[in-house]
Amino acid sequence: MVIDSPFLSVMSSLSDLLRVAARETSPHILPECSLHIQQIAREHPAISELLLSQAQSRASYLMPQLFLELGYSAVVGSNMDAAQRSATAPFAMLCLSCGIADDLIDSANGGFTDRMGLGCMALAIAAAAWSIVAQDSDCTRRTLLGEVLSAFVADGINTAYREMQYAKTISFSLDAYLEVSSHKAAVYTEHSLLIAHAISGAAAPLRHTLSDLGRSTGLALQMLDDLLDVDADGREAPDAPLTYALFLRSTGQPLSAAYDLIDETIERSKRIADSLPHPTRLIGLLDNLQSFLHYYGTFA
């Protein structure tokens, strides 16, 4: 289902888009996965208000849930059951923890209380995610998820190192920007789709297809997020890495070039998705992403 323009007119962030897309494509996943967040809030009352008001609306929480669900559907042709969804929720929680930690890095000018709250949230959610995996009674699944979470953390650290190196460059390079960006959101999307493949028992060759799809779509999402950041607040910190959209804005060039590049990347993702056995819902999500892009592209 493609989002109608009245919805698009009130969206201003990637979180807005993913929240609406979740309601349209997988309306059941948000309330089920939010049970874990509610449990953490009960166990940590000092940060419960912050958790309940912010956590479930973040792109870093919505993105892995959507890609887990839709990736599984694309290879199996049906939804994950409640047990599978509950067992894989720790991955979405760890993604959320990393997203909150990223906000902490970006909040250089934030107040002490805000920074402390973000740090405590990130720690509490990460600890809960590992605890849930450790308590899984299915030994095979527990091992699988433990390996995936470890690989996710390792990839996240490597991606952070790449971004630190990129931030040191003086002149802008589109190739360097794309190389770094292809790893950022893709850490979430690619691992989500690979978990979906692992628990589905699908044929081995589909793993490569899902990996390609995760990298391509992650790149599109990262570039779109960078574009929205420029339209909203500009750089979040004085020493933040230079993005393509910010480079275009700072050099007086039209942002349409960034929109075109994102559009091309989404089209590539749709071609990859179309090779999967049951791609309808995944392509629907990509169509929604493209509708969002085209709507805002008219104002670029």
Per DSSP, the three-state class of 131 is: helix
pLDDT tens-digit map of 204-225: 999 999 999 999 999 999 999 8
- Whether 234 has a pLDDT exceeding 80, the answer reads no
Structural domain of 234: 5-297
With vertex at residue 65, the alpha carbon angle to CA 285 and CA 22, rounded to the nearest 5 degrees, is: 45
pLDDT tens-digit map of 81-132: 888 887 888 888 888 888 888 877 776 566 788 888 888 888 888 888 888 8
Per DSSP, the three-state class of 253 is: coil
**According to the model, what pLDDT value does residue 25 have?**
61
CATH number for 119? 1.10.600.10
Mean pLDDT, residues 51-75? 83
Inter-helix orientation angle 186-200/139-167, to 10°: 160
For the stretch 48-68, what's the b/e string if a residue is b when 16 or more beta carbons lie within 10 angstroms of its beta carbon? bebbeebbbebbbbbbbbbbb
Number of domains in the chain: 1
With vertex at residue 297, the alpha carbon angle to CA 61 and CA 162, rounded to the nearest 5 degrees, is: 50
Contact 52, 37 (CB under 8 A): yes
- Taking the CB of residue 300, how many other CB atoms lie within 10 A of it? 16
Per DSSP, the three-state class of 170 is: coil
Inter-helix orientation angle 29-43/14-25, to 10°: 120
Highest mean pLDDT among 3-12, 32-41, 66-75, 163-172: 66-75
Tell me how far CA of residue 132 lies from CA of 22, 31, 94, 288, in angstroms.
24, 18, 11, 32
- Taking the CB of residue 159, how many other CB atoms lie within 10 A of it? 19
Distance from first CA to last CA of the chain, Å, rounded? 25
pLDDT tens-digit map of 125-179: 888 888 888 888 889 888 988 888 898 889 989 998 998 899 888 889 999 999 9
Mean pLDDT of all residues in the chain? 83
